[in-house]
Amino acid sequence: MQDIAAHVMDIAQNSVRAKASRIEIEYREDPGKDSLTIMIQDNGCGMNEATLARVTDPFFTSRTVRKVGLGIPLLKQNAERTGGSFSITSREGEGTTVRAEFVLSNWDTPPRGDMGGTVVLLATANPEIEFIYRHITAKGEYVFDTREVKETLGDVPINHLEIVSALQELVRENIRELSTE
């Protein structure tokens, strides 16, 4: 994956497939601890211990169209090669939490990428799922919550093309403001 945003898009698709009704995504840059953490938490179907133990194996997948499942292994590899860490916890029937920590100053830590565009694409392509995105940097915090957005929009659909573009601009602009680069 080329950037952090692509990883987030990828891992969040697992939550969509797990039939989550609520997906929380957090992006946290902490220069004091030299760390960049992403967390994706859902209330989907979860996994039992046997399945959970196998998800970091690239030759394990729940799909039937192909025999490999690379999303989680790629994120784990990318995080660990920066000196960071990866963890996944899950309970059947309750949901799953994926956390990856990168060492912020490491050469191998991928660039952030288009987090705003990514989160909005996820939220608008899955209008029935509630998305909460938290973007935290040394400058402050921005929260994008689709409940608020849907309230504001009333009966205008969130996946209307002009709304999607407007939302992307909204989130990108707020992230830009918190950007420390």
Residues near another protein (CB under 8 A) are: 1-2, 5-6, 9-10, 13, 16-17, 63, 65-66, 69-71, 74, 114, 117-118, 121-122, 125-126, 148-149, 152-156, 159-170, 173-174
**Distance of alpha carbon 98 from alpha carbon 110, whole angstroms:** 18
Measured from the CB atom, the residue of 1 and 47 that comes closer to another protein is 1
State phi, psi for 64 to the nearest 5 degrees: -115, -10
Q: Judged by CB, which is closer to another protein: 66, or 180?
A: 66
List the structure tokens of 92: 């059947």
Taking the complex as a whole, the smallest distance from the CB of residue 1 to another protein amounts, in Å, to 6
**Is 37 in a helix, a strand, or coil?**
strand
- For the bound state, the minimum distance from the C-beta of residue 38 to another protein, rounded and expressed in Å, comes to 15
Q: How far apart are CA 41 and CA 85, in angstroms?
A: 17
Cβ closest to another protein, residue 93 vs residue 127: 127
Residue nearer to another protein on the CB measure, 14 or 35? 14
Helix, strand counts (H, E) of the chain: 6, 6
